[in-house]
Amino acid sequence: MPSLKDLKNRIGSVKNTRKITKAMQMVAAAKLRRAQESAEAARPYAERMHSVMAGLAGSVKGSDTAPRLLKGTGSDKTHLLVVMTAERGLCGGFNANIAKLARQHAEKLLAEGKEVKILTVGKKGRDALRREYGQYFVGHVDLSEVKKLSYDDAQGIARDLIGRFDKGEFDVATIFFSIFESVISQTPTAKQIIPASYEPEEGEEHVPTVNYDYEPSETQILTDLLPRGIATQIFTALLENGASEQGARMSAMDSATRNAGEMIDKLTIEYNRSRQAAITKELIEIISGAEAL
């Protein structure tokens, strides 16, 4: 049976915890709004890019002159997994879910006898995968200094990937990130970006492609655009991830705040009961003392 003093201390500390989680929740809510705004702002570009690329890619698909970024190296032996997670924890299952998906993927590829390489973006994913897959790590992108994600960050990652691809370090690259559905639901997703696959998205009508004039040539435009398409996809993924992270943190902190509240209620009842018990005990002692006289 904890003493009254202990109970009081515990209530005090849970109250402090609640203050912190509450503050974190509000910060996450503000950041989420900003993250959603930037994701929203980036959408028109990404959509246009996607539709143009889909048209272009469709028209050169079969030909031999298609750039390697589009048709691939012709083998799928070495896979590069780009695992994008947050730089910080305390956001529920967000990081763990992405790491889990990446792990399943890696297991599957290894079981098929494929070679696996891992590039991590964000500290948490690296920490989560290091113990099991540390030997496959080929690099890490640190975004902890980045306050606001910009297209340049995505472009940096894209350049890095394309550089490695050109050197023949891998055949297929897949990015792992979380799609933001709502504050309570974020879906970890895997998406292949090299070789680029531009299929019309589900439920989307395939737009009949117009016969464009190309200036300069079609293949040249494609060569020029493919790296940009990859950078755009990475940028979109990073933004989705950013929004997901804040959403996940918000709901995690919300439930933490609620838990703390419940705990405070329970502890307060216990505290009141033991206080009452102590008073009763003292009274009994006084009364029986008085009677004995």
**Scanning the structure block, which residue is given the tokens 């109970």?**
7
Of the candidates 39, 91, 101, 154, the residue annotated as catalytic is 91
Among 32, 42, 101, 196, binds other proteins (CB under 8 A): 42
Q: Determine the 3-state secondary structure of 203 from DSSP.
A: coil
| Nearest-approach distance from CB 231 to other proteins, in angstroms | 8
Among 135, 144, 211, 288, binds other proteins (CB under 8 A): 211
- Residue 224 touches other proteins, criterion: CB under 8 A: yes
Residue 198: name the closest of 79, 42, 69 by CA.
69
**Scanning the structure block, which residue is given the tokens 């959603």?**
36
CA angle 159–163–166, rounded 5-degree value: 135
Burial class of residue 71 in the structure, from the number of CB atoms within 10 Å of its CB (0-12 exposed, 13-18 middle, 19+ buried): middle
Cβ distance to other proteins smaller for residue 199 or 212: 212
Q: Count of residues for the chain? A: 293
- Residue 241 touches other proteins, criterion: CB under 8 A: no
> Is residue 38 among the annotated active site residues?
no
Q: How far is it, in rounded angstroms, from Cα 72 to Cα 144?
A: 32
Among 8, 179, 228, 274, binds other proteins (CB under 8 A): 228
- Residue 216 touches other proteins, criterion: CB under 8 A: yes
Q: How many residues bind other proteins (CB under 8 A)?
A: 28
Binding site for other proteins (CB under 8 A): 38, 41-42, 44-46, 48-49, 52, 56, 150-151, 154, 210-216, 220-221, 224-225, 228, 231-232, 235
